[in-house]
Structure 1
Amino acid sequence: MLQSCFWVDKLACRWREILAHSFALYIFDLDGTLVDSLKDLACAVNRVLEVMGCPQLPEQQIHGYVGQGARWLLEESLKAAGATSDRLEEARGHFLPIYSEQLTTHTHFFPQALETIDTLSKNGARVALCTNKPYELTEKLLKHLGAWERFEIILGGDSLPTKKPDPAPLVHIMQHCGVSADNTLMIGDSTFDIIAGKAAGTATCAVTFGNHDKNTLQDEHPDFMIEQLSQILSL
């Protein structure tokens, strides 16, 4: 069942505007939104920690650090493993080669992800991808999964000087597609996606099956919350 978050006291007019039509541009996050990559990310992080002589972490703990790019993921993982911050660059040097090898071992699309994207495109909508994953790894993963050509534009975490939660990547995508913010929906599983969307002026949709739990997402007041990707087609 579609779940929408209504804060009528502040946003009643916005809801009427949002619900009056579907969107011309849909911008998707990747990890935790379209693909389940947690196991591969956790395996790569623990391999880095092992190489550095640090204790490994439970997968679920690492999952909480996913969503704001590799630097944040490694910073928080090192901290949790008791390593000093001056070892971050060492960890980063290990991470990309290790994760690149691990990238496609377990990662897969969530149910209905490809069908939803294809239906949106067939209905005339524009579909874009905005992830904090490095562009090179994003390209490798999507080509492996056979989805690279499904997006009109793809931005990685290193495609621009800033990344989510900064709104610049979303603004860049809207300018590229020639679509206004009030006709754009940002879909993601983390607070960073919702913050970026709101800062860019788009409508926002949080998915509840990704890296951030429902209560954490609700704190950012997304316009919509959904439990499965096909519900986007009803917005």
Structure 2
Amino acid sequence: MLPNMNNSFTANKSLDAPVLLLLCHNLYIEVCLLTKSLVVKSNLLDFVSRALSCTSLGCTEGMQLAHQRNGRHFCDELSRIWGRKDSSWKITGRSKVFKTRSATLAVGSSRIPVTQKFLYEGDGTLTEGHIDFADMRQRTKIPQGDLFTVLEASTPEHIKQAMGVILDIEAEAAAKVSMKPGLIKALTLLRDNKVKTALVTRNTRASVKAFFDLIGPEWEGLFDPVLTREFPFVKPDKRLLLHVANEWRVYPSTLLMVGDSFEDVEVGNAAGTATCLVAGGGNEKPGVKVVTPAGAVATFIVNGLDQLSQMLEEGDDALKLGWPARQAAGEDIGKEGAPAPGLDFLDWCISVGAIRMGGASFPRMGQYAGGLATSDVTGSKILHVGCGAGGLTKTMCSQGMQVLGVDLDITATTRRGLCAVPLVGPKRELASGSLSIARESGTYEVVLIQGTSEDLRDSPGMRRWWHPQPLRELMTVLCEQSCPPSEAGSAQQRGTLCADVQIKDGQINPASIFESLQRHGLTVHAWQIIKSKKGDEGDRVLRLAAMRSTL
């Protein structure tokens, strides 16, 4: 079957032949035993993305694709869509070959995708939580926000005092540990179907030992790896789950993160896994309605492990892949299972070397209180202008960066325990002195303009931040050079401005932005124009990173 690639066609399970072969110049794709309808248009990359998503769902027995011309670009695009470079890419001459196999396992009358791997959080998800979090917050003097995120930005004295309290409370809870209803049934289901399962927790090794002592040593082999807070990356740092995906040699989209807190959901959404929130966890208080922040909305919610087991046995429609796979397959991704707004821009800034992640998630806690990993590689010191509700700010904080948010209204940000200060002076303007409070903490290696705050994004000063007046104010908080190589573990870097700009066709010329930056002593060293996810068809987004021209 040799279709005309200029036209659309449909392939479905009614095909007489089990193999569909596409030939287009020197590119061929072989899809074996295709069992799900696909609509293939002239965009071949879109077809491959859809086919790969079907493979992950267990809808094919196998897939092989090779690219003889421009293979590196083609395969890099696939790697970008799926969020990682898979070790099964093989280079042969000028071609790259990718192979993956997927099958389904029968459980009674149900079918569980073998490619769905499970990541469990410990306390509160697998065991009954015997921790009074209200008491913990009172004793640690942290009334709101994620405990670890708040402590990382606190004083050494507070870190030591609070971690001492947390260790005492955790030790008491470990002595009273008990199983969640339905735990053994869920573990048996996973073991019998040979489903890879990991345990990722911010508890200590001692707490994990108490868990295995409770359920029996025969279950230890089911969880591999077991990562506690002594591991360099902990929730909500997405590098934790990306590490597991790399160890298992699978795409993050095929993982399911199961937990009972916002941080469990945030780490999964950021990494691109599917997420399951077990209701009644650490973020919930009796009689109090908790507003779920952006980036912490789970793919689906269950009342307990029994319900999750039932969904797995019945192949419930709520069981989905992570958002990158669903998006590549053409699904319109809403809030469920989606990461914090701006994550793709942050990843781009990191990829071009404009922003530096820390070597550990919470190195200051490890340094002053012990029990967590430390690192000689410090993350960038960042001023996040337009922090909004703090979703992206928290993501950066969890990756070892030192971040201060700035916005017109910082109520939502501070409610999450994040460090933020308001703009000063005329409302909705970025004028001389607007960043004076932020400047009290010194200058910053990176000024990041990526706002989720509608008020600030629509303000005249922020819509045209590259104009002389707002740009001069931004330059007052941008340091001339970053921390020395001995501290950063990398080459010395000049202060960098990272920003994205909404561009409508013909209304804003990127060249005028570059010229303005150059006049104010900034040199653009990386830029990219992409299609806007919102707005009209002609809308584009300009991403840029500009360094100070002189030291």
Q: Give the TM interval when normalised to the shorter protein.
A: 0.5 to 0.7
User: 1:43-62, aligned counterparts within 5 Å?
Assistant: 45=136, 49=139
Paired residues of 1:40 and 1:104 also in contact (CA < 8 A)? no
Query: Distance between the aligned counterparts of 2:282 and 2:234, measured in 1?
Result: 18
Change (3 A) 1:229 1:101: closer
Say yes or no: does 1:125 pair with 2:195: yes
Deviation at 1:150, TM superposition (A): 3.0
Query: Distance between the aligned counterparts of 2:214 and 2:198, measured in 1?
Result: 18
Q: After superposition, what is the alpha-carbon deviation per residue over 1:178-233, rounded to whole angstroms, capped at 9, x for unaligned?
A: 22112111111111111111111111111112222385458522111111213333
1:176 maps to 247
**Hey, which of these two has a bigger chunk of helix by percent?**
1
User: How high is the sequence identity, in percent, across the aligned residues?
Assistant: 23
AA aligned to 1:35 is T
Deviation at 1:149, TM superposition (A): 3.4
Name stretches of at least 5 consecutive residues in structure 2 with no aligned partner. Answer: 1-49, 59-112, 312-318, 320-551
Say yes or no: does 1:25 pair with 2:96: no
Bigger radius of gyration: 2
Change (3 A) 1:17 1:190: farther
Query: Distance between the aligned counterparts of 2:283 and 2:56, measured in 1?
Result: 25
2:174 maps to 104
Name stretches of at least 5 consecutive residues in structure 1 with no aligned partner. Answer: 1-12
Query: Distance between the aligned counterparts of 2:165 and 2:201, measured in 1?
Result: 21
Query: Distance between the aligned counterparts of 2:166 and 2:297, measured in 1?
Result: 34
Query: Distance between the aligned counterparts of 2:282 and 2:166, measured in 1?
Result: 20
With 114-123 and 101-110 compared, the bigger mean Cα shift is at 101-110
TM-score calculated relative to the size of structure 2: 0.31
Instruction: Compare relative contact order (CA 8 Å, sep 6+) and give the higher one, 1 or 2.
Output: 1
Deviation at 1:115, TM superposition (A): 1.3
**Number of paired residues?**
196
Runs of 4+ that moved beyond 6 A: 16-19, 40-43
Query: Distance between the aligned counterparts of 2:116 and 2:251, measured in 1?
Result: 9
With 33-42 and 179-188 compared, the bigger mean Cα shift is at 33-42
1:158 maps to 230
Paired residues of 2:205 and 2:228 also in contact (CA < 8 A)? yes
Paired residues of 2:123 and 2:129 also in contact (CA < 8 A)? yes
TM-score calculated relative to the size of structure 1: 0.67
Paired residues of 2:186 and 2:306 also in contact (CA < 8 A)? yes
> Does the residue aligned with 1:35 lie in a helix, a strand or coil?
coil
Say yes or no: does 1:227 pair with 2:319: no
> Does the residue aligned with 1:179 lie in a helix, a strand or coil?
coil
Query: Distance between the aligned counterparts of 2:116 and 2:297, measured in 1?
Result: 22
Say yes or no: does 1:194 pair with 2:265: yes
Query: Distance between the aligned counterparts of 1:104 and 1:223, measured in 2?
Result: 30
Query: Distance between the aligned counterparts of 2:56 and 2:301, measured in 1?
Result: 14
Paired residues of 1:187 and 1:207 also in contact (CA < 8 A)? yes
Q: After superposition, what is the alpha-carbon deviation per residue over 1:113-151, rounded to whole angstroms, capped at 9, x for unaligned?
A: 221022022112111111111234323433344243331
Q: CA RMSD in A?
A: 3.6
Paired residues of 2:128 and 2:177 also in contact (CA < 8 A)? yes
